[in-house]
Amino acid sequence: MSGDPTIGFLKADVARFCAGLDERAPAIRLRLLVQLRSALDEVTDTALDEGMAAAKAEGWGLRQIGGQVGLSHEKVRYRLAQVAGRGEPAGEPS
């Protein structure tokens, strides 16, 4: 997906974390995986919103931003409005 080596390092770190859960009881393993997924979603959603806002501030159109991030221009508009409404970066609204 990406030629950036930092993505590969992050993916390897997450894979090591997940592999380290193999010996855990299933309930603990599943709870930790859900917590990991939630934490990653929170961080990446916030960063995505900040990146989209920065692109918009540089004059990018909503369709151009959406094309880069895999969202419709209407979803981009919605997320940017949510961030602007709170006056701070935020993750994906429910």
- pLDDT tens for 6-23 read 999 999 999 999 999 999
Length of the chain, in residues: 94
What pLDDT digit, counting tens, does each position of 68-84 carry?
999 999 999 999 999 88
Angle of helix 73-86 relative to helix 62-69, nearest 10 degrees, comes to 100
Q: How many CB atoms within 10 Å of residue 42?
A: 13
Q: Full-prediction pTM beyond 0.85?
A: no
- What's the pLDDT at 36? 97
Instruction: Provide the CA 77 distance to its chain's centre, in angstroms.
Output: 17
- Report CA 72 to chain centroid distance, whole Å: 16
Are the C-beta atoms of residues 20 and 12 closer than 8 Å to each other? no
